[in-house]
């Protein structure tokens, strides 16, 4: 762990919505988004940072529960079109689906060589005990970090409560605590204490700079199925036969196990034979799928189910949304999904 000195950077702050950008109106319990052009007046501490900060806001800031493909595209395009003008980007976002958006952006922006730091808060920025100021100030500081005139962080990150995680490794784990996020299968990239420390060994390595590529097309006709012991044959068949499903993600037990009954195996096999990708991820917060380790996952491996390894649910959805429009055949899709392309899975696990 080594400390890194800061240099002056140009930072674009993008407000999509969420608790962090709201103020409590006098005499009312309701929250209202404030004008981000007035950001410096609300957070005078930002003037102490040696960075130039510009702000931009969605026309209609939204609850993160309303985020979808249209908003992912808007956010990715905003960064893409401003990419050469800024050294780093900070995205203010509601915490509920922040891990999903961070994961999607990591796939949409290929050859990223600058930081995109997602952050938010559990309390509004005007509350006495708010976590918003620290999260925002440190996120901007991290986004502006340079060594030898190059950005230190060159990937999509998520900063919350003194830790920066790789965005596509995170999940929201708590709705009340300030430590709202965790990255169970990958260590933090930075830790904020008396000094801001960078875990250099775990930052995504960029071999050589290439032009940024925007992958705008996404597919949302997906089925995420959390398996449970009492799932009936009829309900399973009904879910698999939903019209226009393009891809299926199953959350299995432990290291990738579920029923060995014919109706379950044959149902998935029929989808695979029709070139519909089926991905197996674990319901456990930590650990990974290892199909074939136990008898109850051996048949899944035999019929061609794709291993999600230690990918999060959020990143699995994002990666499938990104890959499906590429119109890949099943084997190519399987190979790419089981390969880390944005640091989303641990290689050689």
Distances (CA, A) of 294 to 255, 263, 289: 8, 19, 11
Q: For position 132, what pLDDT does the model report?
A: 81
CA distance 184 to 311: 10
DSSP state of 48: G
Choice among 2, 16, 19, 312 that is catalytic: 19
Question: In CATH, which of 3.40.190.10, 3.40.50.1170, 3.40.50.300, 3.90.600.10 is domain 2-214?
Answer: 3.40.50.1170
11 near 87, Cβ under 8 Å?
A: yes
Please give the average per-residue pLDDT across 166-195, as a whole number.
Answer: 90
Active-site residue flag, 138 = no
Distances (CA, A) of 182 to 56, 162, 229, 253, 308: 28, 12, 27, 20, 19
Residue 132: closest CA among 248, 213, 264, 13: 13
24 near 126, Cβ under 8 Å?
A: yes
pLDDT digits (tens, 9 = 90+) for 205-263: 887 789 999 999 999 999 999 999 999 999 999 999 999 999 999 999 999 999 999 99
Please give the average per-residue pLDDT across 15-36, as a whole number.
Answer: 73
Q: For position 270, what pLDDT does the model report?
A: 97
DSSP state of 91: E
Q: For position 27, what pLDDT does the model report?
A: 64
**pTM for the whole structure:** 0.93
Instruction: Provide CB contacts within 8 A for 149, sequence distance 6+.
Output: 7
What is the per-residue DSSP string for 191-259? Answer: EESSSEEE-GGGSPP-SS----EE-------EEEEE--TT--HHHHHHHHT-TT--EEEEEEBTTTB--
Domain boundaries defined on the chain: 2-214, 222-337
Averaged confidence pLDDT in the chain: 91
Confidence category of residue 349, pLDDT binned at 50, 70, 90: very low
Q: What is the dihedral of CA 340, 342, 345, 347, to 10 degrees?
A: 40
Q: For position 347, what pLDDT does the model report?
A: 81
φ and ψ at residue 155, rounded to 5 degrees:
-165, 180
Residue whose entry in the numeric block shows the structure tokens 């003008």: 85
Please give the average per-residue pLDDT across 115-139, as a whole number.
Answer: 86
Q: Please report, rounded to a whole number, the percentage of residues in the chain having pLDDT higher than 70.
A: 91
Q: Is the pLDDT of residue 1 over 50?
A: no
pLDDT digits (tens, 9 = 90+) for 294-346: 888 899 999 999 999 999 999 999 999 999 999 999 999 999 999 999 999 99
Residue whose entry in the numeric block shows the structure tokens 């051996």: 298
Instruction: Provide CB contacts within 8 A for 302, sequence distance 6+.
Output: none
Q: Is the pLDDT of residue 39 over 90?
A: no
2-214 and 222-337: identical CATH topology: yes
Residue 150: closest CA among 89, 213, 234, 209: 209
Q: For position 152, what pLDDT does the model report?
A: 95
Q: Is the pLDDT of residue 197 over 60?
A: yes
Ranking 25-39, 43-57, 154-168, 193-207 by mean pLDDT, the lowest is: 25-39
Q: Is the pLDDT of residue 89 over 90?
A: yes
Q: CATH topology for 222-337? A: Rossmann fold (3.40.50)
181 near 94, Cβ under 8 Å?
A: no
pLDDT digits (tens, 9 = 90+) for 139-175: 999 999 998 888 999 999 999 989 999 999 999 988 8
């Amino acid at each position: 762990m080594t400390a890194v000195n800061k240099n002056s950077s140009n930072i674009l702050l993008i407000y999509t919505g969420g608790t962090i950008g709201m103020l409590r109106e006098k005499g009312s319990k309701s929250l209202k988004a404030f004008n981000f052009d007035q950001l410096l007046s609300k957070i005078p501490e930002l003037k102490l940072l040696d960075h130039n900060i510009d702000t931009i806001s969605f026309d209609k800031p939204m609850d993160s529960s309303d985020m979808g493909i249209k908003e992912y595209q808007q956010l990715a395009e905003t960064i893409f079109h401003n990419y050469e003008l800024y050294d780093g980007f900070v995205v203010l976002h509601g915490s509920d689906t922040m891990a999903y958006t961070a994961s999607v952006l990591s796939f949409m922006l290929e050859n990223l060589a600058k930081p995109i730091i997602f952050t938010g808060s559990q309390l509004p920025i005007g509350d006495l005990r708010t976590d918003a100021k620290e999260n925002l100030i440190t996120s901007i500081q991290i986004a502006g970090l340079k060594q030898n005139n190059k950005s230190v962080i060159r990937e999509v990150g998520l900063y919350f409560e003194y830790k920066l995680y790789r965005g596509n490794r995170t999940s929201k784990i708590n709705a009340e605590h300030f430590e709202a996020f965790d990255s169970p299968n990958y260590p933090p990239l930075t830790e904020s204490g008396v000094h801001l420390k960078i875990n250099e060994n775990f930052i995504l390595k960029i071999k050589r700079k290439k032009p940024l590529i925007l992958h705008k097309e996404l597919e949302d006709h997906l089925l995420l199925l959390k398996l449970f012991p009492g799932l009936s044959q009829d309900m399973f068949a009904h879910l698999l036969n939903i019209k226009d499903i393009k891809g299926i993600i199953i959350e299995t037990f432990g290291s990738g196990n579920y029923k060995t009954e014919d109706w379950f195996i044959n149902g998935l096999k029929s989808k695979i034979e029709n070139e519909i990708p089926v991905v197996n991820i674990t319901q456990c917060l930590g650990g990974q799928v290892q199909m074939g380790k136990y008898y109850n996952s051996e048949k899944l491996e035999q019929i061609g189910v794709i291993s999600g390894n230690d990918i999060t649910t959020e990143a699995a959805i994002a990666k499938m949304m990104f890959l499906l429009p590429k119109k890949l055949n099943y084997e190519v899709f399987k190979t790419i999904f089981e390969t880390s392309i944005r640091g989303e899975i641990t290689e050689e696990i």
